[in-house]
Amino acid sequence: MISTRPLGACALALTGFMATLPLQAAGVCPGPKPESIVVNASGGAMADAMRKAFSADFEKTYGIKVIDTSPANFGKLKAMVQSGNVEWTVTEIGAQDVLTAVEEGLLTKIDDTIIDRSGFPKQAKELEYWFAKSAFSTVLAYSTKAFPDGHPSTWAEFWDVKKFPGPRSLRNHPVDNLEYALMADGVAPDKLYPLDLDRAFKKMDEIAPYITVWWKAGQQPAQLLLDGEVILASGWNGRFYNLIKDGAPMNIEWSQGMIKLSAYGIPKGSPEPCWAQHYLGIMTDPKRQAVYAEEIGYPGLHLDSPKYVSEKLAKNLPTHSDNIGKLVWTDTVWWRDHGHEVQERWNKWMLKHQ
Amino acid sequence: MTNDTDLRLEKAFKAYGTVKALDHVDLSVRNGELLTILGPSGSGKTTLLRVVAGFAEPDEGRVLLQERDITFLPPAKRDIGMVFQNYALFPHMNVAENVSFPLQMRNMAKVEIKKRVTWALGIVELGEYAERLPRQLSGGQQQRVAFARAIVFDPRILLLDEPFGALDRKLREQIQLEVRRLQQQLKLTSLFVTHDQEEALILSDRIAVMNAGRIEQLGTPHEIYERPINRFVADFIGISNLISGVIEGQDRSVAVVRSKDGQLFLVAADAIPTQGTNVIVLIRPERLVLLDDGAERSNRLSGTVAEVIYLGQSEKLRIDIGGGRDMLMHRQSRLGGVQLEVGSTVNIGWTPEDAHLIVEDTVGQP
Amino acid sequence: MSAHISLIDRLRRNRVIREHGGSVALSLPTVIFLLILFAVPVVQLMLLSFQSGTFEHYEKAFTDELYVTVLLNTFEIALLVTVISFFLAYPLAYFLIVAQPLWRNIGMFCLLMPFWTSILVRTYAWMAILGRRGIINEALLSLGIIDAPLSLLYNTSSVLIGMVHVLMPYMVFPLYAVMRRVDPNLMQAAYGLGAPNWRAFLRVYFPMTMPGVLAGASLVFILSMGFFITPVLLGGGRVTMIAVLIEQFVTELLDWEFAGALSMALLTFTLVVYSIFKRLMKSERNLA
């Protein structure tokens, strides 16, 4: 069924333009079938999960090899598209970059005749130029050793160094942190945007002396908790889950975590745009999304997907019904418009706290 | 020990593993003299120099410098001037800085340093080169800077370690004489190490010939050349014709020696060993004369010219005297007389006074 | 980058001296290689920084307190790394010169081994050593010397330690090469002429090894200026060096024009320092 649907859709789309039967017979896309396509993503554990959940099936279905590359780097995407020398068939794009990519016209339109997003929630269903692969959340994680009973469950409590003393870690980046600061200062989660920068940075001043590490790489916060370097850290939920599932002494507090969609897109000038659509088509399948989530802890967005996920994992997914309500959606449009200036202000602020 | 001794080694012994580099050496260097340590490489002469300079310590024995025991004194405190084989000029300092280095190390006043450097550079006639770097100087000039640097602080003695080896022949002879002149003029007690016997003969007041860690013979150049004490010294200094034989008898101060092939030779000697002693008769090539030119000598040999090397002022001849042996002869060139060619039959001869008697068993010290 | 250039350039020059004539043709691939991999990107970077047609990016880079401070920080850290590396590398290089062959080989092996390990691994190793539950803290705790773990990580000191560890070999090898060429007779001459050990060292040995000191220092300094991973990981985000900001502008903020200007500023700064080193080296070479 999965294999026939794209075939039919593509054939339908094509017959209007091309009437040559041999081409249709040769494959679902026009032109000679390529030997391989290139899927560019974050690499590491993510590449393994991608292969298991999606790429293996794509190879089996279409007889086209999938080559994995990494990392997902926006600068490189832009350079490729501008130079017209695009190596990536499909690529992951950072959550905060994707809107800029759309604005700068770096991406190809999503073909809804091939990619069926009808089972997706509203936020992910009608995206014209990109594909929401999954949702991820930047959450508060804590050491269960340091807090056997009673851990900080809001950012106000994260800020409360008297009640919960100990070294902490936050990301060396303004996104999320400024939202945390405002929530810690009493701003309601639904009244965050537009961000009151002065108020946010003032609140950041308070916590800065207690931040041992301003993390930069995604694996850092979980490792810092594991090594006992810090007792509280912000971080991406999948990275914590990776260690939690192996019994590491840490846990996730979902309240007031910031949630975003992670994005995939087809670069303008992609060497095989039609096959790119089909690759993303494979990624819409709820069962395959479940396989992916089991591997890495990031859920796909098909609303049926959680049904196919183990109970233990389901609770650790941001989209679980217990969690999604506690999370706050990041306003990516605001960040697209203000990211640059806020980043520079952040850098200056960091210098003061060296 | 006499008062005029500046440097003395007493039973100095040093071994590297099983090799005895210094085998209980006694040596005295007199005030103001230039004494040369002459020997082949590996004879221990370099070790002797290092022990004197303080770069090596003897295993046994003492080193005395002007009555003071300096055996274990660090080199910096010995007050010994030294000229190294490759001069060892400091490449990053100019001539004046090089020469002032030992004075600065003695914390001398600036004015005094300047005076002395000017004096030393004046002596070696390099006053105008004070600002030059060593590599901007010729080999001979570098040599003179090294000499100036070694004497500028008025050292107790001067050590010269093969200082002329790097110079070409003509320059070497000139500089040798210059150094000798300065050494005599300044009355510098000097210990000079070389493997070049010709250089040793030219420069030295006395020569100590070293072999296998021992001094084989100590004497004036004349004594060393004319009266070598054993086969080693005879072989090492100059070119020698050596004839082995046995004492057959004596006639007053002339010994009669029978060579192995039965010929009899007369050799003048002060002390003649008893009959039957194995001896060597040494005749220097320049003492041999050609009897065919009309000369008469009491010792004679005949042979065939095997080789002729014409040198302009003289010629060198190798004469085959049969039995697989030959004699070397130096002969002043002349116009007229007998012209020798390879293959000519010749008679050569020498007087008993032209020969020197070496007792074969004699070893060790004079 | 310019350090690599100068090394390649120097090797090439040596070869020119040795081989005379045919070397021009031989060096052609190197020249082309350098043009493609170095000259072209630099020119592109420069063009990028002037894309707006004005000096606005440079004005910002050289007047905005943020970038001036970070540039000065970078300079300060590079300088400290260079100085520390020198004081550690000099005795080490000397040890390699005087040591028995066995010890020299062991020393060389220990020095070279880090080159076969990625900087990332070495940086994480330092995290395992200096961390709150690292080797040092665990040892001090179990010995009862301290009650609570010391904060050895995530400060300027740990960044310096990590960078010195990575960069010290670049100081050791030029020193070793120069020390090998120092004529041992010169030190004997100095002693013989009345110099105590330390004065012989300061007046004779050290000046003669100066070319190696300068070569090593310029390598370490230039490489330090562009350091990225070690300050990020060992500095806990608190130690900002210019390369970190450049990366941010390229990959996150996509402000390539300003990134270009910052890179040009770093390159210019590095070249200025390098030319100072080079001038010093030249005058040293004239002496030596």
Lookup: tokens for C72 = 């000065």
pLDDT digits (tens, 9 = 90+) for A195-219: 999 999 999 999 999 999 999 888 8
Query: Quick one: CA dihedral A171, A172, A175, A181, positive or negative?
Result: positive
Q: State which residues form the domain around A143.
A: 137-260+330-352
Q: Please answer whether residues A131 and A101 qualify as being in contact, where contact means their C-beta atoms are separated by less than 8 angstroms.
A: no
Which chains sit next to B, with 3 or more Cβ pairs under 8 A?
A: C
Position with higher pLDDT, C151 vs B189: B189
The reply to whether A22 and A96 lie within a common domain is yes
The Cβ of residue B266 has, within 10 Å, a number of other Cβ atoms equal to 19
> What string of DSSP letters covers B106-117?
TT--HHHHHHHH
Of C73, C232, C253, the CB nearest to A343: C253
How many domains is chain A partitioned into structurally? 2
Q: What domains can be seen in chain B, in order of their start residue?
A: 5-235 (3.40.50.300), 239-359 (2.40.50.140)
The DSSP symbol for C132 reads T
Q: Please answer whether residues B253 and B339 qualify as being in contact, where contact means their C-beta atoms are separated by less than 8 angstroms.
A: no
Burial of C33 (0-12, 13-18, 19+ CB in 10 A): exposed
Instruction: Say whether residue B118 is in contact with chain C using an 8 A CB cutoff.
Output: no
For residue B142, the Cα-to-chain-centroid distance in whole angstroms is 24
The reply to whether A178 and A235 lie within a common domain is yes
* Coil, strand or helix at A99: helix
The reply to whether A24 and A125 lie within a common domain is yes
Has residue A254 been placed in a domain?
yes
- Confidence check: pLDDT of A88 > 50: yes
* Topology at the third CATH level for domain C55-287: MetI-like fold (1.10.3720)
The Cβ of residue B19 has, within 10 Å, a number of other Cβ atoms equal to 13
The reply to whether A110 and A141 lie within a common domain is no
The reply to whether A10 and A87 lie within a common domain is yes
Has residue A317 been placed in a domain?
no
The reply to whether A152 and A248 lie within a common domain is yes
Has residue A325 been placed in a domain?
no
H-helix or E-strand spanning residue A321: helix A321-324
Q: What is the mean pLDDT of residues C4-12?
A: 47
When pLDDT is cut at 50, 70 and 90, the band that residue C64 belongs to is: confident
- Of B355-359, C238-242, C281-285, the poorest mean pLDDT is in C281-285
Has residue A323 been placed in a domain?
no
- Confidence check: pLDDT of A37 > 90: yes
Has residue A302 been placed in a domain?
yes
Of C70, C236, C248, the CB nearest to A351: C70
Has residue A152 been placed in a domain?
yes
Chain B neighbors of C287, CB-CB under 8 A? 91-92, 133
The reply to whether A244 and A158 lie within a common domain is yes
Sole residue written with tokens 């990332």: C120
Which chains sit next to C, with 3 or more Cβ pairs under 8 A?
A: A, B
Q: Do C193 and B79 touch (CB under 8 A)?
A: no
| Cα gap B321→C6, rounded to integer Å | 71
The reply to whether A21 and A93 lie within a common domain is yes
Q: What are phi and psi of B319, to 5 degrees?
A: -120, 120
- Confidence check: pLDDT of C26 > 90: no
The reply to whether A159 and A223 lie within a common domain is yes
Looking at chain B, the whole-number percentage of residues with pLDDT higher than 90 is 63
The reply to whether A344 and A211 lie within a common domain is yes
| Cα gap C172→C85, rounded to integer Å | 9
pLDDT at A25: 32
The reply to whether A65 and A171 lie within a common domain is no
Q: Spell out which chain C residues touch chain B, with contact meaning CB-CB distance below 8 angstroms.
A: 183, 185-186, 188-196, 199-200, 203-204, 207-208, 210, 284, 286-288
Of B91, B102, B133, the CB nearest to C194: B102
> What string of DSSP letters covers A9-40?
HHHHHHHTT---HHHHHH-SSSSSPPSEEEEE
B 168-227 residues with CB below 8 A of C?
Answer: none
- What is the CB-side half-sphere exposure of residue A228 using CA atoms within 13 A? 14
CATH number, domain at A204?
Answer: 3.40.190.10
Query: Which stretches within C201-255 are classed as H helix?
Result: 206-225, 229-234, 242-247
| Cα gap C53→C32, rounded to integer Å | 30
For residue C205, the Cα-to-chain-centroid distance in whole angstroms is 23
Buried/exposed B180-206: b ≥16 CB within 10 Å, e otherwise? bebbeeeebbbbbbbbbbebbbebbbb
Q: Please answer whether residues C173 and B59 qualify as being in contact, where contact means their C-beta atoms are separated by less than 8 angstroms.
A: no
The reply to whether A15 and A156 lie within a common domain is no
C1-4: long-range contacts, CB 8 A cutoff, minimum separation 24: C1/C38, C1/C226, C1/C267, C2/C222, C2/C267, C2/C270, C2/C271, C2/C274, C3/C218, C3/C219, C3/C222, C3/C223, C3/C274
| Cα gap C8→C2, rounded to integer Å | 10
pLDDT at C171: 95
Compute the radius of gyration of chain C from its Cα atoms: 22
- Confidence check: pLDDT of B178 > 50: yes
pLDDT digits (tens, 9 = 90+) for A50-80: 999 999 999 999 999 999 998 888 888 998 9
Lookup: tokens for C250 = 């390229």
Has residue A226 been placed in a domain?
yes
The DSSP symbol for B331 reads E
| Cα gap A5→B272, rounded to integer Å | 128
